[in-house]
Amino acid sequence: MASDSQSAGGGRTGLPARCGSLFLCVAIPILIWFAPLPLEPATKHGLAIAAFMVLAWITEVVDHAISGLIGCFLFWALDVVRFNVAFSGFADSTPWFLFGALLIGAMTVKSGLARRLAYLVMARIGATYPRILLGLIVTDLILTLVVPSGIARIVIMATIALGLVEAFRTPGESNVARGMFLIITYCAALFDKMIIAGASSITARGLIEANGQVDVRWGQWFVAFLPGDLITVAAAWGLTLWLFPPEKVELDGGRAYLHEQLGKLGPLSAAELKAGLLIALATVLWVTDFIHHVSPAKIGLGVGLMTLLPGIGLLRTDDLKGLNYLAMFFVASALTMGNVLSATNGLAVLTDVAFAWMQPLMTGTLASIVVLYWTAFAYHIALSSDIAMLSTSIPLLMTFAKTHGFNPLMFGMIWTFASAGKIFVYQSAVLVVGYSYGYFTTRDLLRMGVLLTIVEFVVLLLLATLYWPLIGIG
């Protein structure tokens, strides 16, 4: 299974372009290292290595995790910081939260519970295209709680969508197929930011806590974006029907097809029951973290490890071989970079340069939201990964917020949410996986992406100005 940190373009880039990218990744850091800048050596050298990491993530000369590990090694080997700082991200709770999420996702898929939930939702919604489309979007949202990986949800939802396309008996280039595959793909990327579930939102949470010195609670984040989830479901549904009007409205076989698929699954298995109980336990604990104050990372990792215990037996040792540990390494190295820059005062330098122009525009809550949202949207176009975008910018944003008296939690939530707006396939591995099925084009994604990005901006304005102050965020 692919990782959320993997890129769209890696593997298809031509040799000259890759050579040019490699040259930039080496030449620019060397220039920074030896440049006669009025900075302390540790600050300048930390910035040079960080520049290598960021450029390597943008250009994708090697896998993101490998670039990150090289950067951590260079921080240590070149005596920029001590070993415990150079690899400090691996001692952070965030990559282990992601490991727990990977275990939960693997458990849900292996047990068959995810597919059963999908068919149950759609069987109750209806058998016409508009109803099925709504069912796919709602299922995508529900699965975000139980399958904390956008790519994993795409794989699950695509299996169902392929069967539905076949049942509609429409060609692959039909609006029916394009609409279904495009919206389950785009919504998977969106919902990953509105619930602390995917690798990017888990990474953002860790960075906000570490650099903003604020508690980021799973339940508070969930409640804060819940109205936005509901509006997004309605907006995504309406836009898909408008952009891709179906050639055929009724599913061949109607509800009978959906019930047939449920029948093939048979009665609820013991594995599904165990998986459901574990997911319910994790969800209840996450939602009520404002009461018990147990870290979401502890809950996620604890429940994930329970899947491997004797007597539960949902996952075996062999199942661990299929997990994408590189995603954990990437997240850990991204956190390390922020810690090193903080320890060497590099963050202060970057904050002065990168965010100085924003301060005159931050004249109030409304203006701050506008500036943050569209700056993050533009910044993400330059990067090929949600995690790279968030990991390189949130430490700077948190420093800026604290220095200028803004709410770090609010700024971090806005910035993370804004990273969900995408118009190009390369901006997210979730989009790449959905696109790889061949049912929608880059032009389809551009049209949907532009419209949903505008819709989500309006949603954010309403949430941040009217709703968040009522729940203590503002």
Alpha carbon distance 49, 96 (integer Å): 25
| Nearest-angstrom CA–CA distance, 443 and 310 | 50
* pLDDT for residue 119: 74
Nearest to 314 by CA among 109, 118, 98: 109
Q: Give the pLDDT score at 425.
A: 76
Can you tell me the distance from the alpha carbon of 131 to that of 240, in angstroms, rounded to the nearest whole number? 12
CA atoms of 158 and 178, how far apart (whole Å): 12
pLDDT for res 274? 92
Query: What's at 166, amino acid-wise?
Result: E
Alpha helices in 169-295 (DSSP H): 175-194, 199-212, 218-243, 255-265, 270-287, 289-292
* pLDDT for 384: 57
Q: Which of 101, 90, 95 is nearest to 300 (CA)?
A: 101
pLDDT at 454: 96
Length of the chain counted residue by residue: 474
Query: Residue 446 to residues 177, 206, 470: CA-CA distances in angstroms?
Result: 17, 31, 35
Please report, for the chain, the start and end positions of each structural domain, with discontinuous segments joined by +.
93-320
Q: What is the DSSP letter of 14?
A: -
Residue 432 near residue 1, CB atoms below 8 Å: no
Q: Shortest CA distance to 20 belongs to which of 55, 51, 45, 46?
A: 55
Which strand (E) or helix (H) includes residue 246?
none
Task: Write down the number of H helices and E strands in the chain.
Answer: 23, 0
Q: 324: left (phi > 0), else alpha (psi -120 to 50), else beta?
A: beta
Best CA proximity match to 284, nearest among 436, 88, 422, 146 = 146
* Token pair 């396309």: residue: 165
- Smallest CA-to-CA distance from 246 within 159, 183, 188 is with 183
pLDDT of residue 27: 94
**pLDDT for residue 172:** 67
d(CA 47, CA 418): 26
Helices 41-59 and 346-354, interaxial angle, to 10°?
A: 60
C-beta separation of 89 from 335 below 8 A: yes
The whole-model pTM stands at 0.71
- pLDDT on residue 234: 95
pLDDT averaged per 10 residues, the chain (length 474): 39 69 92 93 94 84 88 96 94 83 81 77 79 89 79 75 75 86 91 84 88 86 93 95 90 75 87 89 76 81 91 87 82 85 83 74 84 87 70 84 87 91 78 80 91 95 93 82
Quote the pLDDT of residue 385: 65
Which residues does residue 128 pair with via DSSP β-bridges, in sequence order? 250
- Name the one residue in this structure whose structure tokens are 């290598």: 52
CA dihedral of residues 147, 328, 335, 301 (deg, nearest 10): 60
With 0-12 CB in 10 A as exposed, 13-18 as middle and 19+ as buried, what is 84? exposed
pLDDT of the residue at 389: 78
pLDDT of residue 7: 39
